[in-house]
């Protein structure tokens, strides 16, 4: 009897202990509206679902409250249905797309698909917080490590001049610079993206045992994991978080001419006139610096230089020639400008060395006459208001069409560690340093949108940060050197930048610093070594989101290279004409970016499951149909290794030998290797020859052509020959079909400028190719806008056996089936 009572008490005690254990386990986390909160060892951890595919991870030392408003993320988290459970030490959170596991013992967070496929996991005990004194504020240096699969490739992190595509086995110190634009977002071949939401100097390092982000300053570890299912899908998730890319005006996709610098309004207008006389297409001209006068008036945003006596007339003269003009503006001000004098008493300037360093134009800078130029505090909303006030009054009001925001990282010369201690509106400069371009570009974009909707915002800028795609900006790769190695570097630089969720990128065609090519030549543009490099760079530039020629030392206007009938001149003209024929394709690709979160300049790994393209750094897709293989090695002239930077490049020594070198013939054909990804057939753009994918071929080339291949199943619209983008309506387009697979293409049209497309003022016409029946369906037109073409002709051309089979059809907006 007593024994039975004892045994019952033991069982009761065990049951109570089990209940208590379950109770304790259940209390190891707290449910929130977005996920859970928990304390693990000495760290507070919060999991927040922003959507079924995107989750935010916040970690901070226990009991150290902080407040953070993201500069990049503008999405508000949406209510997401979650199933939360615990088994042992693992708390699992499941949406209908993604599973997140949190080990409440070690703190490790892991991500997997709903069917259990592992995506990414943190390395155990890898979240670290190291005490750091940030200009008097007690905070931390933060670090988080992850474990990647051995055969996994990752891309992004903005633009780097490494010459490589994949980020594996790389260590990258991310501090914004002239030719390096850092965006702490990466994508994986496993179909996920990772955004490290921190603005201080950050080191990314990938080693065999771990991949980590380490930031100098952070009150917390703050990152987002997103499951896109593909690189495109992950980019779409990032844009969902940080903002969609608006449409640019059609004219921005034409050809742009620039140089350092046009020294008078007569010279600027004269370039446009000359292009019109020659019949070479042109849509944009760019005025570089010092239209404001001397360096003490740096960036006055006013035409104080006497060589620009009538700016309004200058702009009108350019507009009369159906061209557009954008102008150089900076993120710093000289001490005699109105902006400086208004901002300085309010503490809105940052006192560190920037460009220019002397009040005199001579090189090297004369430090006995310092310029006194200082960057402004872009993080301060009132300072951004002041910036726009003068920009609006001095430049926007005279009809300038867009902004060339130079030094938007900004230039930080003679760096001292104490410069990071400077106070900004949002704390130390160290804390927010990498977000400088986002804030300054955003300030101009938001103010212009608030001022007028008649003209779409267009900003050409030298630097970028995560989220900048929402501001109507196209980033160029900075003051890169004029060399073949620099050209080779631009392709992976642009591809990684594009995979950082910012779709618009371009480069100085020909490279910026070209003085070495002047030596031994009266005119560098007549030097065959530069001619070859320039033509190949231009041919690459024709297949980037902005085709823009620019540089110092050697003028880049087409007439400097010769005249019609000469090989270099003709090669330049041919590339520009090709660009204009592709405008319907390019503008539709731009709509695909805005409407469907697409990317225009595409690494091959985005579109092909082919292990051979994982690290391809010299070919890419332009849109989803055209494979571009730029010529990136000299074929006709010696490839001289040249190196220059912003310091040495400006040291323009005079040529001592004016004897011309021997002329070079560009007549003979050459050849190059091209890899065609597997899984499809390809058509040689120039010959229409069909080639099987999954092989490397030897392609014959000439000075006026680079290898271009069209993916089977592609439908490409070709526009009319024009002198500027909107000269002729698209009422008689050639619709070229490349058989071998089913295909689809949507032709997008709108009013070419303004924001009425956001209100639905646009149309799309979807073309569908049925490869089995060899028929093209031109579907019912969707949408409408003022000035829309109601009746038009399409000249359908199907490529077959190296020839074009053509048939003209009339289209009035109703479905048409074309049999060929």
CA 142 vs CA 42, 178, 216, 222, 223: distances in Å: 14, 26, 7, 10, 12
Indicate whether 659 pLDDT > 70: no
- The pair of structure tokens assigned to 238 is 């990032």
- What is the distance between the alpha carbons of residues 221 and 223, in angstroms, rounded to a whole number? 7
Q: Give the pLDDT mean for 20-27.
A: 44
pLDDT of 814 above 60: yes
What pLDDT score was predicted for residue 535? 98
Rounded to 5 degrees, what angle do the CA atoms 480, 482, 485 make? 85
Tell me the torsion sign for CA atoms 452, 457, 463, 466. positive
What pLDDT does 291 receive?
Answer: 98
Task: Let me know: does 155 contact 615? Beta carbons within 8 Å.
Answer: no
Percent of the chain at pLDDT above 70? 95
pLDDT beyond 70 at 7:
no
**Active site (annotated) includes residue 406:** yes
Predicted confidence (pLDDT) at residue 25 exceeds the cutoff of 50? no
Q: Which of 479, 553, 619, 705 is catalytic?
A: 479
Matching residue, tokens 């292990």: 611
Residue 658: CA count within 13 A, CB half-sphere: 3
Residue range 433-442: mean pLDDT, rounded: 98
Q: Give 556-577 pLDDT, tens digit per residue.
A: 999 999 999 999 999 999 999 9
Q: What pLDDT is attached to residue 14? A: 43
> What is the arrangement of strands in the sheet containing 185-188, beginning at the earlier edge strand?
30-31, 35-40, 43-51, 54-61, 221-227, 192-196, 185-188, 154-156
Confidence at residue 520, expressed as pLDDT on a 0 to 100 scale: 86
Q: Are 216 and 558 in contact (CB under 8 A)?
A: no
pLDDT band at 5 (very low <50, low <70, confident <90, very high): low
**Measured distance CA(534)–CA(568) in Å, rounded:** 9
Give the pLDDT of residue 3: 55
Q: How confident is the model at residue 640 (pLDDT cuts 50, 70, 90)?
A: confident
Task: Identify the pLDDT of residue 10.
Answer: 43
Average pLDDT over residues 375-384: 98
Decide if pLDDT at 529 tops 60.
yes
Catalytic residue, chosen from 180, 409, 411, 705, is 409
Average pLDDT of the chain?
95
Detail the DSSP E strand segments found in 216-305: 221-227, 255-257, 284-287
Confidence class for position 797, pLDDT limits 50, 70, 90: very high
Cis geometry, peptide bond prior to residue 711 (ω within 30 degrees of 0)? no
Rg of the Cα trace of the chain? 29
Q: Convert the pLDDT of each residue in 192-219 to its tens digit.
A: 999 999 999 999 999 999 999 999 999 9
What is the side-by-side strand order in the sheet with 803-811?
715-718, 732-737, 792-800, 803-811
91-134 pLDDT, tens digit per residue, is 999 999 999 999 999 999 999 999 999 999 999 999 999 999 99
Q: What is the pLDDT of residue 9?
A: 53
Q: Determine which one of 122, 197, 302, 406 is catalytic.
A: 406
| Catalytic-residue membership of 479 | yes
In the chain, pLDDT over 90 holds for what percent of residues? 92
Q: Could you count the other beta carbons within 10 Å of the beta carbon of residue 327?
A: 25
Residue 10 neighbours by CB distance under 10 Å: 10
Q: Output the pTM of the full model.
A: 0.95
Tell the residue number behind the tokens 């930048």, with chain if given: 497
Tokens for 309?
Answer: 């006596």
Summarize pLDDT for 61-73 with one digit per residue, the tens: 999 999 999 999 9
In angstroms, the CA 727 to CA 274 distance is: 18
**Backbone φ/ψ region at 330: left (φ over 0), alpha (ψ -120 to 50), beta:** beta
Which pLDDT belongs to residue 19? 39
Q: Is the pLDDT of residue 8 over 60?
A: no
pLDDT (0 to 100) of residue 279? 98
């Amino acid at each position: 009897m007593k024994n039975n009572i004892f045994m019952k008490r033991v069982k009761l005690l065990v049951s109570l202990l089990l209940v208590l254990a379950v109770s304790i386990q259940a209390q190891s986390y707290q449910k929130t509206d977005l996920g859970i909160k928990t304390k693990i060892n000495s760290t507070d951890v919060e999991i927040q679902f922003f959507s079924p595919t995107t989750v935010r991870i916040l970690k901070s030392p226990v009991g150290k409250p902080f407040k953070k408003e993201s500069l990049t993320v503008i999405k508000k988290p949406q209510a997401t249905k979650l199933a939360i459970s615990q088994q042992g030490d693992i708390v699992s959170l499941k949406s209908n797309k993604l599973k997140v596991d949190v080990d409440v013992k070690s703190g490790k967070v892991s991500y997997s698909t709903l069917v259990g496929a592992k995506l990414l996991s943190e390395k155990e005990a890898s979240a670290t917080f190291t005490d750091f004194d940030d200009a008097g504020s007690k905070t931390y240096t933060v670090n988080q490590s992850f474990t990647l699969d051995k055969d996994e490739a990752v891309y992004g992190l903005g633009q780097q001049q490494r010459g490589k595509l994949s980020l594996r086995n790389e260590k990258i110190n991310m501090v914004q610079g002239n030719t390096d634009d850092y965006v702490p977002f990466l994508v994986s071949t496993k179909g996920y993206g990772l955004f490290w939401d921190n603005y201080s100097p950050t080191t990314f390092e990938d080693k065999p045992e771990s991949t980590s982000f380490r930031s100098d300053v952070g009150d917390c570890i703050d990152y987002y994991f997103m499951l896109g299912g593909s690189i495109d899908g992950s980019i779409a998730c990032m844009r969902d978080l940080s903002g969609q890319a608006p449409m640019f005006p059609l004219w921005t996709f034409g050809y742009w001419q620039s140089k350092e610098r046009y020294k008078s309004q007569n010279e600027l207008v004269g370039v446009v006139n000359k292009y019109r006389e020659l019949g070479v297409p042109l849509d944009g001209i760019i005025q570089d610096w010092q239209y404001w006068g001397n360096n003490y008036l740096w960036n006055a945003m006013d035409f104080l230089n006497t060589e620009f006596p009538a700016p309004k007339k200058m702009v009108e003269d350019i507009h009369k020639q159906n061209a557009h003009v954008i102008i150089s503006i900076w993120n710093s001000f000289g001490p005699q400008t109105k902006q400086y004098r208004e901002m300085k008493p309010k503490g809105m300037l940052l006192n560190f060395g920037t460009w220019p360093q002397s009040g005199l134009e001579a090189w090297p800078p004369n430090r006995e006459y310092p310029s006194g130029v200082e960057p402004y505090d872009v993080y301060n909303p009132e300072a951004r208001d002041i910036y726009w006030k003068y920009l609006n009054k001095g430049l926007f009001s005279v009809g300038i069409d867009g902004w060339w925001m130079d030094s938007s990282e900004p230039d930080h010369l003679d760096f001292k560690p104490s410069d990071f201690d400077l106070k900004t509106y949002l704390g130390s400069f160290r804390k927010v340093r990498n977000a400088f371009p986002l804030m300054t570009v955003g300030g101009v974009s938001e103010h212009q949108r608030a001022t007028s909707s008649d003209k779409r915002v267009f900003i050409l800028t030298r630097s970028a940060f995560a989220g900048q795609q929402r501001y109507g900006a196209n980033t160029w790769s900075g003051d890169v050197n004029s060399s073949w190695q620099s050209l080779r570097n631009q392709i992976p630089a642009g591809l990684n930048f594009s995979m950082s969720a910012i779709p618009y990128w371009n480069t100085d065609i020909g490279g910026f610093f070209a003085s070495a090519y002047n030596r031994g030549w009266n005119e560098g543009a007549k030097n065959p070594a530069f001619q070859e490099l320039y033509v190949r760079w231009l041919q690459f530039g024709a297949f980037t989101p902005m085709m823009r020629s620019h540089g110092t030392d050697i003028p880049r206007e087409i007439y400097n290279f010769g005249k019609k009938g000469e090989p270099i001149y003709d090669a330049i003209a041919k590339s520009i004409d090709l660009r204009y024929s592709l405008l319907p394709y390019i503008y539709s690709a731009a709509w695909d970016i805005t409407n469907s979160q697409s990317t225009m300049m595409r690494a091959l790994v985005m579109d092909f499951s082919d292990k051979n393209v994982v690290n391809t750094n010299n070919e890419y897709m332009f849109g989803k149909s055209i494979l571009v293989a730029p010529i990136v090695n000299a074929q006709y002239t010696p490839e001289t290794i040249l190196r220059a930077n912003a310091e040495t490049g400006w040291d323009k020594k005079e040529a001592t030998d004016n004897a011309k070198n021997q002329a070079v013939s560009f007549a003979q054909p050459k050849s190059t290797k091209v890899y065609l990804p597997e899984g499809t057939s390809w058509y040689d753009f120039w010959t229409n020859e069909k080639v099987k994918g999954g092989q490397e071929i030897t392609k014959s080339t000439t000075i006026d052509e680079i290898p271009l291949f069209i993916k089977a199943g592609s439908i490409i619209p070709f526009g009319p020959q024009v002198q500027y983008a909107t000269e002729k309506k698209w009422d008689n387009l050639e619709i070229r079909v490349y058989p071998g697979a089913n295909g689809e293409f949507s032709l997008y049209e709108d009013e070419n400028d303004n924001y009425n497309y956001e209100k639905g003022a646009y149309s799309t016409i979807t073309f569908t190719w049925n490869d089995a029946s060899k028929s093209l369906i031109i579907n019912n037109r969707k949408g409408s806008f003022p000035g829309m073409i109601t009746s038009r002709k399409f000249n359908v051309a199907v490529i077959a056996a190296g020839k074009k089979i053509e048939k003209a059809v009339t289209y009035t907006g109703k479905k048409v089936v074309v049999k060929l």
